[in-house]
Chains A and B, each alone.
Chain A
């Protein structure tokens, strides 16, 4: 099917691919597909996240191969560096890194239907790619990828800060909204009767509890006299906490 697509878009070929190009593409494509299959089939969410890293690196290699240097760097930094770490952080935080039972099927016949539907859609995409002429050959409106011999970063930056300036500024607002929303959603829910009050008082108590008890337990076996000396400030702190309550 890919060969048919290749033939269909053969007129778009920009040059003859060398052997290293083919090797790079095949290796990167194998990484992408292996990682994607790993995400879908692995039972443990941590393994799925690590497979996702493999896919993202493969995509970054394909970006480099197509002269999108800046996007490849951003892909590694943002996706593999931030988003996957966020996934792993949430998986560990929730403690859901257990094996999931993927054999049981809650809805009868849902999986075969899903496979059938997606395969039909994939076949339709390939059929359209072979038969339809999607490429109009219209001139670029955002600037060429090789204008004036400038680098990819220069051209992309110029495009983002001129043609797409409003969209770029809008993403700043989007990120602020996302951060505020995430903080609001992930906040510990307060009891229905109490509004904000108990969270403020219980917070310090929870934090200082282990800090006070820690040295007490460790120092007792070494020297009881010193331990008694240390007890006095501890008592003061505990009193202060109780007064605060």
Chain B
């Protein structure tokens, strides 16, 4: 038997917060992507916890799909990073100010 679900949910909330802070504070696009992965993992942990608590396999199925979508997102996102780096020689989000009015 595992611990009460509150511990897992609290850990997931803290993990999500750390990821969100990193996304707001860091300027390297690659590190910002990693912070998005942290937030996705926090959500996955919540899904699995509620899947166990409610006895519903649907939570785990959703995590399965989140994994697929995360993989696709990383592939496309890193492709965009590579394309931007070819043009601008930088992976810093602050350098991408072409649309600035």
Contact = CB atoms under 8 A, between A and B. Distances in A.
Interface of A: 1-2, 5-10, 12-18, 21-22, 25, 29, 32-33, 36-37, 39-40, 45, 48-49, 52, 55-56, 59, 62-63, 65-68, 70-71, 74-75, 78-79, 82-83, 86-87, 90-91, 93-94, 96, 100, 102, 106, 110-111, 114-115, 117-119, 121-122, 125-126, 129, 135, 140-146, 152, 155-156, 159-160, 163-164, 167-168, 171, 174-175, 177-179, 181-186, 188-189
B69 to A, nearest CB: 7
A182 B78 contact: yes
B96 interface: no
Most chain B beta-carbon contacts within 10 A, residue among A6, A86, A91, A145: A145
Q: Classify the secondary structure of B's interface with A.
A: helix
A21 B1 CA distance: 7
A25 B2 contact: yes
B80 to A, nearest CB: 6
Given A83-B71, A118-B21, A185 B82 contact: yes
Contacts of A21: 1-3
Given A79-B67, A119-B17, A179-B75, A146 B6 contact: no
Given A36-B19, A55-B41, A174-B68, 7 more contacts: A2-B6, A36-B18, A56-B41, A68-B51, A94-B81, A100-B28, A159-B58
Contacts, number: 269
A40 B2 contact: no
9 contacts: A17-B4, A33-B15, A37-B18, A66-B8, A74-B67, A121-B20, A135-B54, A159-B58, A164-B65
Contact of A167 (B50, B65, B80): B65
Contacts of A62: 8, 11, 45, 48
Most central of B65, B70, B94 by chain A CB within 10 Å: B65
A22 B21 CA distance: 28
A48 B68 CA distance: 22
Contacts of B15: 32-33, 36, 55
Given A21-B2, A66-B48, A96-B30, A40 B18 contact: yes
B51 A14 contact: no
Contacts of A56: 37, 41
Given A2-B7, A71-B60, A114-B24, A96 B76 contact: no
B58 A59 contact: no
B90 to A, nearest CB: 8
A140 B34 CA distance: 33
B76 A68 contact: no
Contact of B57 (A110, A155, A186): A155
Nearest to B10: A2
Contacts of A115: 21, 25
B54 to A, nearest CB: 6
A63 B2 CA distance: 11
Contacts of B85: 94, 96
B54 A140 contact: yes
| B4, B5, B9, B57 — most chain A CB neighbours (10 Å) | B57
B55 A91 contact: no
